[in-house]
Structure 1
Amino acid sequence: MMKVAVLGLGEAGAIFAEAYAAAGQLVIGFDPASTVRTPEGVDRASSTAEAVAGADVVLSLATAAHAVSVAREAASALRSDAVYIDLNAASPQVKTDVARTVDGAARVVDGALIGSVVKFGSKVDILLAGPAAEEAARMLQVVGANAEPIGETVGAASGRKLLRSVFMKGLGALITEALDAGRAAGEEEWMREQVAAALTDGTAALERLDNGTRLHAVRRSQELDASIALLDELRVEAPVSTGAADRHRYLARVTDHPDERLIDAYATIPTAAIGDARDRLGFLSSRIRPVWAGARLSGRALTVRTRPGDNRALHEALTVARPGDVLVVDGGGDDSRALLGELIAERAINKGVRGMVIDGAVRDADELRELGFPVWSAAISPAGPYKDGPGHIGHTIAVGGAVCSPGDIVVADGDGVFVVPRLEAERTLVAARLVLADEAERREAIRRERA
């Protein structure tokens, strides 16, 4: 009997964990999100290190964003002869970083899932690359996986997957756009028939690609970004893939946003504690300050990029904003013309927008305070804006020295503004609460000394 550790109990992780348990193996799983269910037959650990301790094989399915940090958490508890299979849809560089992080604590294998785990289950095709690829293939074949070793170079398997993603993710993006167009024209059923007739699996393939693309838009946009980077290295121009990545980001903004309860939970966490939990990476520049004292917010980022001194894009953003959004605006840091005033704030309140963060100037500071509308800005200027454009909505931007993507969680208070990447929101919330608990204990100890 093998001891199998599965890190990440989302869709793919749960499928593999249940398959190994059904095959009579001892399976230990870990996922930091308390809302993720424990698969049947699987023992749940309280940490990554506890899950991997004594394991013969480790399957990392914690998403590309967490691949290296999870490997770091696991390294100290791994057996040196364990096989650590990184199955995250990550770039070759990330897989190499994972191998470097583990560095002798176990034998790292780069794994790439080729095809839909939802459709094929644990019998999905898997490419494997690394010195222990042959052994990893045998371990995966226990649950019926069609595992194919392709060499000893970590990163080779994920490289092939990224090449395939150029086609598959682009096809999924095109299908969602075609169906949305058909729906808007009142011809959805006819359009579905046309697309299904062109696919080998017909309607089943259409449903899988349409639903899967919408459901996993965030992760797939990041995978496409990695594919585009690979094409750039190969000196292959990628306008179609770039468009497909933008389509995924759009879908992520309108269909795959953080749960409102998660956003609200951040309202009680100071930005300082979040910063401590994330190694201080994610703060906007300290020149971006609250317009009025006592303001604080947490919300979902709706990103805006505009030329300095022009607020046409802000007006356009308000037409698509949803309750719970925070407008995060890259205004180039210009302090000569205000991008926001009382009237835009009134419209934002009507849309349920929670506040705005602007790398630029605003005006009507007293009115904003009276409205109770939270705004952080780089400056205050009475001069009004231009309204000519251009501008972009829903793209990843740099604002105040930090990166912000659509749907990231924005938290702001009197100390400043912090951006939490959406895929790391659950893990960050847990870590920030631990920071607060530790601070409370130390505070009490200091006060006891004073008493």
Structure 2
Amino acid sequence: MRVTILGLGEAGSAYASAFAEAGQAVTGFDPSPVATPPHVARAASAAEAVSDAEVVLGLTTAAPSVAVASEAAGHLRSEAIYIDMNAGSPQKKREVQSALGSDAKFVDGAVIGSVIQFGARAHVLLSGPYSDLAATVLGTIGAQTESLQGQIGDASQRKLLRSVFMKGLGALITEAIQAGEEAGETEWVRAQIAGELALGEKALDRLLNGTAQHARRRSIELNDSLTLLASFPRQWPMTQAAQSVHLTLSRTEEASVAEQLASIPTSALGDAGDRLGFLDSAVKPIWKSAPISGRAFTVHTRPGDNLAIHQALPLTQPGDILVVAGGGDCERALIGELIAERAQLRGIAGMVIDGAIRDVDEIEALGFPVWARGVSPAGPYKTGPGRLRETISAAGAVCHHGDFIVADADGVFVVNPLEAEKVLADGRAVVADEEGRKAAMRQEASQQTQ
């Protein structure tokens, strides 16, 4: 049996190794420079990887799954079975199926056991007309399979419903341990939690470590869970809170995402989407700083009053961008040199202010990036009120606490963190297209002058 694994991360490597150990011919593909498991041939593209495959496992993560399927579609053998085992929404699975074409033998796969704990033997739900065939294939490597038949999306829906519990439990344990650390009672709290779990310390550490290690991917999975739950007439505050915990834990990984976003012009990011998400054009850099990107720390303050900004500074994390909804008032400056220096010392990447600032020359001398609506020498009040870490409207754009902010010479753009990877890919495509067109124009102009 010729098996192709698309995606060689933790799960992909586990399945690739299992098939190779079972004596199957295994080919793997991953666009990232991850290690290739022993006895697995590495393909240079998804198209090359699937061209001779009888079985294809999609394990790239959900975000690129449709694009990868589109690349593979024209090269997939008619008799090959394609099992998408990414953690995605039912709609995403149907999009992958559509990308492959109506004749493809497509199966919706959902891994609901722990790959860390069980490897390729983890429990897998399968749905769609070819789910029995997929169960037979996965059974050759000892996977615990459950064929639902039914429709594409049925398996993924069950996984998302399970995620409401499992990811919520992981988030709750993480927060409880953090509380214990703050109080100097870590071991006592661990003992209390372990005593309530059937597998004790082993289960506790698996949930605690897995939550931190896979925070970003699981936050996206929880977003799919919330989309599913939104169709039911209730509120889901615990699931929303669990997603928030995962997003907070994913900051280390997102530092790289922020750096990549800053490398793409805001104009290209806007052109790649629906051109919504920009602050209005009056908000400009007060000096010619380099582009910045980071997570938004939101502040809502009364016009001309900066008490909330003072309250926000001690709560920020390095790399944050303070986004201040100041009502667009330009009669009193909300920040000056002193606040800018305090923010810089805390590691804040910059500020975006729907209002006025002062001490422009001094802030430029500090090298602290600030985007603002205007400049005024008049100082602020410090009486409040204000609100922190809430969804705000700043200069005509909605900004949630934790959104990515991208700011450059042209203006300021807001990016939903759950869509950051897609925005990055689409933005890069726009830049590449523009570079191609410019090169063609130059070549044409050169030929005309010869």
Q: Distance in 2 between matches of 1:99 and 1:350?
A: 50
**Equivalent residues in 2 for 1:16-27, closer than 5 Å:** 16-27=15-26
Q: Distance in 2 between matches of 1:160 and 1:397?
A: 36
- Does the Cα contact within 8 Å between 1:18 and 1:40 map onto a contact in 2? yes
Shift of the alpha carbon at 1:287? 1.5
Shift of the alpha carbon at 1:186? 1.1
Equivalent position of 2:212 in the other structure:
214
Equivalent position of 1:104 in the other structure:
102
Q: Distance in 2 between matches of 1:69 and 1:346?
A: 45
Number of residue pairs matched?
440
Q: Distance in 1 between matches of 2:430 and 2:32?
A: 14
Equivalent position of 2:366 in the other structure:
371
Q: Distance in 2 between matches of 1:33 and 1:440?
A: 29
The answer to whether the aligner puts 1:243 opposite 2:238 as a matched pair is no
Percent identical pairs in the alignment equals 44
Query: For the structure 1 residues 99 and 167, does the alpha-carbon distance in structure 2 shift closer, same or farther, using more than 3 Å as the test?
Result: same
Q: Which amino acid aligns with 2:83?
A: I
The answer for unaligned runs of 5 or more in structure 1 is none
- Does the Cα contact within 8 Å between 1:302 and 1:321 map onto a contact in 2? no
Q: Distance in 2 between matches of 1:146 and 1:117?
A: 12
**Equivalent residues in 2 for 1:391-430, closer than 5 Å:** 391-392=388-389, 401=397, 406=402, 408=404, 410-418=405-413, 419=415, 421-423=419-421
> 1:109-165 CA distances to partner (integer Å, 9 max, x unpaired)?
111111211111000000011121111112222222112111230111111111111
The answer to whether the aligner puts 1:159 opposite 2:135 as a matched pair is no
- Does the Cα contact within 8 Å between 1:313 and 1:390 map onto a contact in 2? yes
Shift of the alpha carbon at 1:428? 6.5
Query: For the structure 1 residues 85 and 258, does the alpha-carbon distance in structure 2 shift closer, same or farther, using more than 3 Å as the test?
Result: farther
- Does the Cα contact within 8 Å between 1:290 and 1:416 map onto a contact in 2? yes
Shift of the alpha carbon at 1:199? 0.7
Q: Which moved more, 1:430-439 or 1:150-159?
A: 430-439
- Does the Cα contact within 8 Å between 1:356 and 1:375 map onto a contact in 2? yes
Equivalent position of 1:343 in the other structure:
338
Q: Which moved more, 1:186-195 or 1:101-110?
A: 101-110
**Equivalent residues in 2 for 1:29-428, closer than 5 Å:** 29-34=28-33, 36-104=34-102, 106-253=104-251, 256-259=253-256, 264=259, 269-272=264-267, 278=272, 284-285=278-279, 287=281, 289-292=283-286, 294-306=288-300, 309=303, 311-323=306-318, 325-327=319-321, 329=323, 331=325, 334-336=328-330, 339-358=334-353, 360-364=354-358, 365-377=360-372, 379-382=373-376, 384=380, 387-392=384-389, 401=397, 406=402, 408=404, 410-418=405-413, 419=415, 421-423=419-421
Shift of the alpha carbon at 1:200? 0.9
State which structure, 1 or 2, has the greater radius of gyration over its C-alpha atoms. Answer: 2
Shift of the alpha carbon at 1:448? 3.0
Q: Which moved more, 1:265-274 or 1:218-227?
A: 265-274
Shift of the alpha carbon at 1:90? 1.5
Query: For the structure 1 residues 52 and 315, does the alpha-carbon distance in structure 2 shift closer, same or farther, using more than 3 Å as the test?
Result: farther
- Does the Cα contact within 8 Å between 1:257 and 1:407 map onto a contact in 2? no
The answer for unaligned runs of 5 or more in structure 2 is none
Q: Which amino acid aligns with 1:74?
A: A
TM-score, length-normalised on structure 2?
A: 0.84
Q: Which amino acid aligns with 1:406?
A: G
SS of 2:371 mapped into structure 1: strand
Shift of the alpha carbon at 1:258? 3.2
Q: Distance in 1 between matches of 2:412 and 2:424?
A: 18
> 1:321-341 CA distances to partner (integer Å, 9 max, x unpaired)?
344x14152628634565544
- Does the Cα contact within 8 Å between 1:312 and 1:390 map onto a contact in 2? no
- Does the Cα contact within 8 Å between 1:397 and 1:405 map onto a contact in 2? no
